[in-house]
Each structure stands twice: as C-alpha cells, then as structure tokens.
Amino acid sequence: MLFRLLAIPNLNFYVGATLDKHTRFAIGGPARVLCDASTEAALIETLAAVKESGWNKTIIGGGTNLIVADEGFYGAVIRYTAKSIDIEGGAAGGGSNVIRVEAGAVLQDLVDATISAGLRGLETMTGIPGWVGGAIYGNAGAYGHSIDERIVSVRFFDGREVREISGKECEFRYRESIFKRNKDWIVLSATLRLDSGHPDDLKAAAGSILKIRNAKYPPEMRCAGSIFKNLFFDELPESARALIPKEIVREGKVPSAFFLEQAGAKGESRGAIRVADYHANLIYNEGGGSARELRELIAELKARVRERFGVELEEEVQVIP
C-alpha cells in the first residue's frame, strides 16, 4: 500500500501521524497514514489505492469540528488540500463578482480575499476556523448568514466520477447539506457569487465581528466553537416552548445555550474537558483532555436537557471513527 502511495504525484503522506495536531480540540490518536492530496487526480488515485488495499478510510478537512478517538484511526485519513482562490470582479468593477475556490482553501483566506476585492457577502464569517470544503459540508455561518446564500454550484467526487450540482441541489439547511448525508462525496471546489461593496466598510464590519468572536472563542482555545446546534422553536415540545423568553428567539431558532444553562452546564468538567463559565454551549480542552472525557461530558449534558425539557440536543461536531 505505501509503495503504491509513493508513486502518486502531488500526494504527501505521513505514517503514524498523530491527529491531535490536526484538530481544534487537540485530541486524537495516530492515523495509520495521513494523506494530503493537492490535485483532483492525486485525490482520486489515492482513494482508488486505499479501496484496493482494503484499508479503512475517512475524509477530513481542517479538523475544526472533529472529535478523533484517543486510539486514533487505523486506516487512511485523507485530506484534499488544493486551495486556489480565483476572483472575477470586485471594487474595481469589470467582472461578474464570481469566486471560484478549491475545498482546501482556509475559510479565513477566502473571507479576506473577498473583502480586499470589495466583495460583500462573506464578511460575517470572519474568524470561523476551518477549510472551505468543511464550511460547505456543514453549511457554516454566523450572525444570521450561512455560506449557502452565496453558493452557485459545487464540484465534488462521488466515488465514481466528478460531478457538479447547483446550490439548490446541495439541499442546504441549517448546518446541513447533501454532502453531510453522503459521507463518500468529497467537495472539490465551489463557485460563489457576491455583491459589490467598499473594502473599507467590509473590513470595519469584519473587524467588529472578529472582536466579538475572539472574546467568546479565543484563538488559542482548544475548542470547536458551539458544540450543539441551535433548535427551531416550532419543532420543540409545547412544554419547552412555554419556558422560552420571546426575546431570545432569533430567526425562528432558540440557542441551545438556553437549555444548557438551565441544566447547570456552565463550569461542568470531565478531567481536562470543561464547559466555559461564560457560555454553556462552549466546551474546550484545558490541555491533556481525552476524547473519552469529551464524549462523556457531551452525553451528560444531552441527558440533563432531555430529562428536564424533553428536548434532544444535536452535536455540530463529527466523530472519528
């Protein structure tokens, strides 16, 4: 298997790479092999080699929303690292305000590039960690906006061929997409369309957002941001709806933090894994925490909310394996 990987152009691989270095929680044991493919051809050939070998495989991006088992993953962990960003249009005019971006681009790099080009629409996503492919996979967003609002089309590999579908066909919903429901589909690139704006105004808006985000989620904090999805008010049991203050319901959603705080989540801990004292939906690793402790704490908080309110919280994070 490893000799086969050596023959693939534009592929770098690392035997026994520890995955804690590739996740925001800084948790996770070793991979049998970590493969970074920087072209579509390299990715497809790597997938074929892994399939023929009979090894297990999993696809990851920037590791923002991942809990990797303490034992690691006995198989191939594959990342698509192509990261070009091509912009047409912007403040200078003369273009269509279209951006083509590869899945391995860092999301913040895309946000910064569009702001500098005078393109409005992604500035509210400043400070969100991770790669573009993962942002599309999970329909990332903040401050009332999600990336799906700007998606024209997405190219992906479905295990047999490269395909392209429209934004509508991606079936985006709150923190959901067709890619999340088809784990073997790998996002390769996307086309987005933004509006024109003034770079200075966009930088100011992004700067204000980043200040707020960094106060809540300090860049050095080992966390995945909010651990649970917010909930749709209309889908909650009547008994739970009756307890929710109207002023906290925004765009039809109720913060999970409301239920977690009522259930006494703030400050809870399992070993080195803690819930923030100031935000009940923020779990972080103080240093040296384990995946076992993290999953135990998540399960405990879900049980408390379920028992008290009859509400089932759903994690934003993904678990490997």
| pLDDT at residue 3, rounded to an integer | 87
Mean pLDDT by 10 residues, the chain (321 residues): 92 97 97 98 98 96 96 97 90 76 98 96 96 97 94 97 98 96 96 96 97 93 95 96 95 96 97 97 97 98 97 95 90
Instruction: For 29-44, write each residue's pLDDT tens digit.
Output: 999 999 999 999 999 9
Instruction: For 209-248, write each residue's pLDDT tens digit.
Output: 999 999 999 999 999 999 999 999 999 999 999 999 999 9
Domains and CATH numbers, the chain: 2-80 (3.30.43.10), 85-201 (3.30.465.10), 218-320 (3.90.78.10)
Pick the catalytic residue: 146, 226, 256, 290? 226
Active site residue 176: no
Pick the catalytic residue: 175, 213, 274, 304? 175
Secondary structure, 3-state, the chain: CHHHHHCCCCEEEEECCEHHHHCCCCCCCEEEEEEEECCHHHHHHHHHHHHHHCCCEEEECCCCCEEECCCCEEEEEEEECCCCEEEECCCCCCCCCEEEEECCCEHHHHHHHHHHCCEECCHHHCCCCCEHHHHHHCCCEECCEEHHHHEEEEEEECCCCEEEEECHHHCCECCECHHHHCCCCEEEEEEEECEECCHHHHHHHHHHHHHHHHHHCCCCCEEEEECECCEEHHHCCHHHHCCCCHHHCECCEECHHHHHHHCCCCCCEECCEEECCCCCCEEEECCCCCHHHHHHHHHHHHHHHHHHHCCCCCECCEEEC
Active site residue 116: no
Pick the catalytic residue: 45, 102, 123, 316? 316
Active site residue 163: no
